[in-house]
Amino acid sequence: MAKVLKFGGSSVATSESITKVKAIVEQSADNKFVVVSALGGVTDQLVKASAMAALGDENFKKELNEVEQRHLNVAKSLIKPQQQGHVLSELKVMLNELEDYLQSIARLRELTPKLQDYALSFGERMSAFLLSETIADAVLVDSRSIIKTDSTFGKANVNFEKTNALSSATLREVKGRAVLPGFIASDENGNTTTLGRGGSDYTAAILAAAIGASSVEIWTDVSGFMTADPRKVEKAYPIKHLSYSEVFELSNFGAKVIYPPTVHPLLADNIAMLIKNTFNPTADGTLVNANADDTPGSQAIKGISSIDEIALLTLHGVGMTGISGISQRLFGALAEAKVNVILISQASSEQSITFAIVPEHVEQAKQAIEHEFEVEIHHQTIGLKIETEMSIIAIVGENMKRMPGISGKLFNALGKNGVNVVAIAQGSSELNISTVVHRLNLRKALNVIHEAFFLSGYREVHLYIAGIGTVGGNLVQQIRQQRKNLMKNHHLKINVVGVMNSKKMLFDVQGINLDEVRDELERKGAPLNLSSFVQRIASVNLRNSIFVDCTASAEVADIYEKALQSFVSVVTANKIACSSSYERYQTLQSASRTRGVKFLYETNVGAGLPVIKTINELVLSGDKVTKLEAVLSGTLNFIFNTISEEISMSQAIRMAKEKGYSEPDPRVDLSGADVLRKILILSRECGYPLEKSDVEVSTFLPARCFDTPTVEMFFDEVQQLDADFEARRRALYAAGRRWRFVASLSEGKAKIGLQEVDAMHPFFNLQGSDNIITLHTERYSALPMVIKGAGAGAAVTAAGVFGDIIRVANI
């Protein structure tokens, strides 16, 4: 049986692409009927030229000249020289007629839909003529002679009875291949009409139904329908099969692959449609027929489409409750004003009806509603709310029917990423769930929905890293080393899109080169402004965003709340926020919960050891921590394990600083301030609302050591204590005991200080810079749970931060 092929867009934009069309058409004898649209972009030029002519703008001739040159150049490239005379002559006749027609419009200073339809018809007529002169055994047929419509110029309605009769009778007599211009038709009086922008697809479907074609092939510049718009969702991929119903829904809600009315003639006669790529003809494309894809493992959601810009109008008020006829009056008034309604959502309370329209119709809709409800609006029982800068997203799939959890997955994905849903609509057919979101969130929303339903082959998280020094530098290195493995084996892509140090900040939404992150920050970075940094994170609005703090800065810790409130997860090695006031600690926890994002700080205690996670799981499972003892300072443990007859206290402290175990200023560690923060955090995780002032602190160095103005003067003071520490160490060693700086929590009271432990104590054999935590709980009462391991060092701390990032990514 014969097939109908339609070519449009960039498929017929140049001589090279038309050569591809010729090859596709001539490869099969079944390709009997070819519908072609105007050369790519020509229709827009004709619209512009017509409008300019109607305004008396002589520049319409410039547009016309460009149209002329394009057609003549294509003809010269395609047609053999000995045949060019006839082709160029025919083109010049049509172009001269078009110029005369535009001159008439210029003299009239008027452009009615009827006049414009005729002007626009030249694009399709000239491209069809060119193609008919290129393809072997081709016969040019004027679509206006066989497709009959009413006189609704601009978007005419087809008279299928007359069209079918004329098409069948005319095309049956064609010997060879019939080439027809798409988009155009004529009314009963012979006036040229058009079928609406994109109407060439519709032409192909009309002809296929009229002649009983076996199938329709729509050849365009994409490989079929995609799971989402690839311009907005990079991970979108082609859909192999769709039902007519799914195509209709996707097309009505923004998918531009085919013109929505195309479906109707095909559906009536169950004619299959195949959408193919002219520039990649071997690609599968998308097959469309009456059957839903119910093969095992098929997706419930077949595609996501969107309308970028709509206005949302809400009629609301107590004057609507229990009053019959409100909907009829509302939509009757809109219909009379020729306002098309895209989406409707009504509250069950009957106090509001929300609907979406295109922005161009807002004013006429407003006037129509205000006129219809003039009395109610005057008495303030009914009001009208108008919201602009909105977008509609529709998820479509026949397999959604009777499948629970689809809506939950949709709204969970949006909510977790901070996308507010303004309105919802779903029909009882369960074929489409439509949501209205702010236009600013459209791209983000499309990506998170696509990721939720299609997995897209991988999940992507976007990192903003504060601090790329010791810990941050190690983290960047670990990400760089591990990212290929995460992508290959866990389908996780980690994209570092922002970095900062104490002086500069750098953003790149495409991803910063981790091999040269420090150099790029130095060369391209802007001066650091923390407020601007967090505002930029919020405004860029990337899905699955994580702010990672590898600093020890109080100022950086101050932006956590803003990040969380912007639906950005926070991972931090910085202890300042969680060890500040209990009220602030609670505020951050609350922001994390209410925004549905993560606030993780495992490395605040024990570097990479799973301490906080373990306590959280115990408490959540109903257990209670009754007692906690811990060595929490890798720095102090290293110092007390290192001092010996050969190495003095001051030397051991210097070694800890040189190895990166201590802070740049070792006084922070030796004062117990770091351990104080850690036991305070652990106490809070155990459920005790302690403040710093509640912790009993005993230091082992005199106050004068910490009052020194410089670090070097601090070392001078400690050096004077070396002999005393050595004498005490010898006595301790002789007694078979060792020093450990211990933090403890018992009955809700916390304290830190230096303790002597014997060989029977679990802390006695603690090596190097290791940490150890013993947890006594109601379940672990006889023997404590023990967590032990490396508790200091940039590499293990970075690994702990990396672990928290993976937990946020939830792989």
List, by residue number, the catalytic residues. 678
Task: Give the helix ranges, DSSP H, for 138-243.
Answer: 160-172, 199-211
Residue 334's nearest CA partner among 373, 298, 378, 307 is 373
Contacts (Cβ under 8 Å, ≥6 apart) of 231: none
For the purposes of burial, counting CB atoms within 10 Å of the CB of 525, is it exposed (0-12), middle (13-18) or buried (19 or more)? Answer: middle
Tokens for 211, please give them.
Answer: 């002649």
Give the other-Cβ count within 10 Å of 767's Cβ.
Answer: 10
Q: What is the residue whose two structure tokens read 């001539």?
A: 26
Q: Which two tokens stand for residue 195?
A: 């079928």
How many other CB atoms are found less than 10 A from the CB of residue 532?
13
Residues 299, 453 contacting (CB under 8 angstroms): yes
* CB neighbourhood size of 383 (10 A): 14
- H or E segment to which residue 136 belongs: none
C-alpha to C-alpha distance for 352 and 349, rounded to whole angstroms: 8
State the amino acid at position 56 in one-letter form: G
**292: alpha, beta or left, given left = phi > 0 and alpha = psi -120 to 50?**
beta
By 3-state DSSP, what share of the chain in percent is helix, strand and coil, each rounded to 5?
45, 20, 30
Residue 199: strand, helix, or coil: helix
Answer for the pair 467, 501: CB distance below 8 angstroms, yes or no: yes
Report helix angle 60-78 to 113-134, nearest 10.
Answer: 20
Helix axes 673-685, 611-620, angle to 10 degrees: 20
- The answer to whether the beta carbons of residues 575 and 596 sit under 8 Å apart is no
Q: Residue 781, Cα to own-chain centre: how many angstroms? A: 49
Please report, as a single letter, which amino acid is at residue 719.
Answer: Q
The whole-angstrom separation of Cα 382 and Cα 365 is: 16
User: DSSP letter string over 410-446?
Assistant: HHHHHHHTT--EEEEEE-TT-SEEEEEEEGGGHHHHH
As given in the structure block, the two tokens for residue 322 are 């229990």
Between CA 742 and CA 747, with CA 744 as vertex, the angle to 5 degrees is 165
- Its sign, for the CA torsion 253, 259, 264, 267, is negative
Q: Give the residue from 155, 386, 184, 168 showing the smallest Cα distance to 261.
A: 155
Four-CA torsion 371, 373, 374, 380, nearest 10 degrees = -150
Beta bridge partner(s), residue 352 = 316
Q: For residue 685, which phi and psi values (nearest 5 degrees)?
A: -65, -30
Instruction: Convert 447-473 to b/e letters by CB count within 10 Å (16 or more is b).
Output: bbbbbbbbebeebbbbbbbbbbebbbb
Give the separation between CA 742 and CA 740, rounded to whole angstroms: 6
CA 393 – CA 591 distance, rounded (Å): 28
Q: Distances in Å between the alpha carbon of 247 and those of 238, 269, 287, 675?
A: 13, 16, 10, 62
Helices (H) and strands (E) in the chain, counts: 29, 29
Token look-up 């991929």 returns: 237
Alpha-carbon distance of 185 to 709, in angstroms, equals 90
